[in-house]
A and B are shown apart, each in its own frame.
Chain A
Amino acid sequence: MAADLPHTMEPADSGASASTGADAHGAVHVHIASSRFYVGIFAALICLTIATVKVSYYDFGAANIVLALVIATMKASLVAAFFMHLRHDNLFNTIAFLAAFVFLGIFILLTYDDTGYRGQVDNDYGGKIDPRTGQGAAGGEPATSATADSVAAEKAPGAVVGKKE
């Protein structure tokens, strides 16, 4: 009998976007792209993949990672917008999707802020040092032992991990 209970809630078509809507019967109506269009998106993705591999053979310094991530984001946007239908979907789905990246950004920034500046915050602690900076750090290594880098330098001169002097 539960199936016969009336609903006061409006059906989804009132809130949906024009393309993922419903007719008066409440049937699903979605935007259907042509096969040729999907193949075109695939071709664009392959071109971007070749571009990102080619670019990796040149040394642009710090720009390498920026370029790689920009191309990856272009590819991800194509996949999300067209293969995953976000372009013609309810806007709220896009918001849910993008919200994940906002929170991921907050997560990474705050973690970086914590780990990146520990040595400075705990400068007076004295007991431990940060092996990277040589500064005091509560989360670092005991100041009495040699740092990993100087041990490494003895073992394999010429292949030393960069250490700021």
Chain B
Amino acid sequence: MFRRCRNMVVTERTKMANVSEPLQVPGHEESHPDFLQHHFDTPAQQFGAAKLGMWVFIATEILMFGGLFCAYAIWRGQDPKVFDEAHHFLNKILGASNTIVLLFSSLTAALAVRSSQVGKRNLTSFYLVVTIACACIFLVIKYFEYSHKFHLGLLPGHCFGHPGLSAAIQNGEEVGTCLRMDVNSASVMPEWVRAVDEEGHVTLLSPRANMFFGLYFVMTGLHGLHVVIGMSILLWVLYKNVKGSFSPAYFTPVDLGALYWHLVDLVWIYLFPLLYLVGKPE
């Protein structure tokens, strides 16, 4: 009975599509390829559903980062001058380099999808490897930026604006030792942070600049986590591609993996100017 019912549907579709050749009978291996889940009628329906699901997920990701962007907007609105001073401690050149690395990795991710669409499996693997390599370069540059800021004592926490920190810098002591200071031994009143910014100016930072650095570390940290997750996804896609799971008829994981990677790029496109570039030039 089911079979008859389906045949009727098939006939209806054939009429609507106005094609001369009849549709493949469902159950036939050509119309039921391995990659087609049983709850989808056609590969196109499965592909459309997967894409919509990915875009809804991307929307939730934007809203998750949105909470931090909202915090940035509010705090920057309240302390524009503090943000202005603090942002000079970020290196524009390193930030711009990372932007270019990510944009290039987005290009190779898009080209990986394209290669998969036209069935060039080896080329897909090549572009995926380049994308993952770019992700590694991004993380290495980020590591150098982070460690430099830790060294300056700009990590928010008891270290930031700690009394004795600015004196330690003036005496030429290793600033990193502030992490080992006994907080209880001194007054906990935060002090202005005296540090040398990226342009070489000795700048006094308000204790409230820890809001800027807090946002910097959380926003770039969450973004960095996405870079790591994106790398893992692309590695899995690479593995499946090498095994030969994809074809011009089925490249959904390559497409969705690349979409996730482009999301990582999208977030950075906004993070870069907001953290590195906005503020009065010196």
Give the docked Cα–Cα distance between A99 and B179 (Å): 44
Per DSSP, are chain A's interface residues mostly helix, strand or loop, or mixed?
helix
Min CB–CB distance A161 → chain B (angstroms)? 5
B111 within 8 A of A: yes
Q: Is the C-beta of A143 less than 8 angstroms from some C-beta in chain B?
A: no
Q: How far is B267's CA from A79's CA once the two chains are assembled, in angstroms?
A: 11
The distance from the CB of B105 to the nearest CB of chain A, in whole angstroms, is: 10
Q: Which of B46-100 contact A (CB under 8 A)?
A: 46-49, 51-52, 55-56, 58-60, 62-63, 66-67, 69-70, 73-74, 77-82, 92, 96, 99-100
The answer to whether B273 and A93 touch across the interface, beta carbons within 8 angstroms, is no
Residue interface mask B8-50, A partner, CB < 8 A = 1: 0100011001010101101100111000001101111111110
Contact in complex: B43, A59 (CB < 8 Å)? no
B281 touching A116, Cβ below 8 Å: no
Q: Check B262–A79 contact: CB distance below 8 A.
A: yes
Q: How far is the CA of A93 from the CA of B51 in the complex (A)?
A: 8
Q: Cβ of A128 < 8 Å from any Cβ of B?
A: no
Expressed in whole angstroms, the minimum distance between the Cβ of A96 and any Cβ of chain B is: 5
Chain A residues within 8 Å of B206, by CB: 148, 152, 161
Number of interchain pairs (Cβ within 8 Å): 227
User: Are A162 and B81 interface neighbours, CB within 8 A?
Assistant: yes
Contact A11 B45 (CB under 8 A): yes
Interface residue? A18 (CB, 8 A): no
7 cross-chain CB contacts under 8 A: A7-B41, A41-B107, A64-B277, A84-B262, A104-B66, A155-B191, A155-B192
Q: A45-B103, A83-B106, A161-B81 are in contact. Are A53 and B96 (CB under 8 A)?
A: yes
| Contact yes or no, A4 B70, CB < 8 A | no
B273 and A13: CB pair below 8 A? Answer: no
Q: How far is the CA of A4 from the CA of B32 in the complex (A)?
A: 11
Closest to B95 in A: A53
B contact set with A: CB distance below 8 Å? 2-3, 5-6, 9, 13-14, 17, 19, 21, 23-24, 26-27, 30-32, 38-39, 41-49, 51-52, 55-56, 58-60, 62-63, 66-67, 69-70, 73-74, 77-82, 92, 96, 99-100, 103-104, 106-107, 109-111, 113-114, 117-118, 191-192, 203-204, 206-208, 249-250, 255, 258-259, 262, 265-266, 269-270, 272-274, 276-281
Contact of A84 among B6, B41, B259 (CB under 8 A): B259
CB–CB A68/B44 < 8 A: no
Question: Which residues from chain A contact B67 at a C-beta distance below 8 Å?
Answer: 107
Contact A53/B2 with A28-B249, A108-B70 known, Cβ cut-off 8 Å: no
Q: A2-B38, A27-B249, A93-B51 are in contact. Are A72 and B74 (CB under 8 A)?
A: no
* Alpha-carbon distance between A135 and B31 when the two chains are bound, in angstroms: 71
- Neighbouring B residues of A16 by C-beta, 8 Å: 44, 48
Q: Is A121 located at the chain interface by the 8 A CB criterion? A: no
The verdict on A107 contacting B42 (CB below 8 Å), with A68-B277, A79-B265 known, is no
How many positions in chain A have a CB within 8 Å of any CB in the partner chain? 79
Answer whether A12 and B73 are a contact pair too, CB < 8 Å, given A38-B111, A49-B96, A79-B262. no
Q: Is the CB of A79 within 8 A of B106?
A: yes
B5 proximity list for chain A (CB < 8 A): 6
* Cβ-defined contact, A11 with B52, below 8 A: no
Question: Shortest Cβ distance from B278 into chain A, in angstroms?
Answer: 5
Inter-subunit contact A11/B44 (CB<8 Å): yes
> With the chains together, A11 CA to B19 CA distance in Å?
16
- Contacts A3-B38, A96-B56, A111-B70: A22 and B191 contacting too (C-beta < 8 A)? no
- CB-defined contacts of B278 to chain A, threshold 8 Å: 56, 64-65, 68
A60 CB to closest chain B CB (Å) equals: 10
Given contacts A46-B100, A93-B55, contact A83 B31 (CB under 8 A): no
Distance in Å: Cβ of B38 to nearest Cβ of chain A: 4
Q: Chain B's nearest CB lies how many Å from the CB of A116? A: 7
Report the bound CA distance from A75 to B17 in whole Å: 40
Known contacts A101-B62, A111-B70; decide if A24 and B249 are in contact (CB<8 Å). Answer: no
B residues within 8 A CB of A20? 44, 47-48, 51
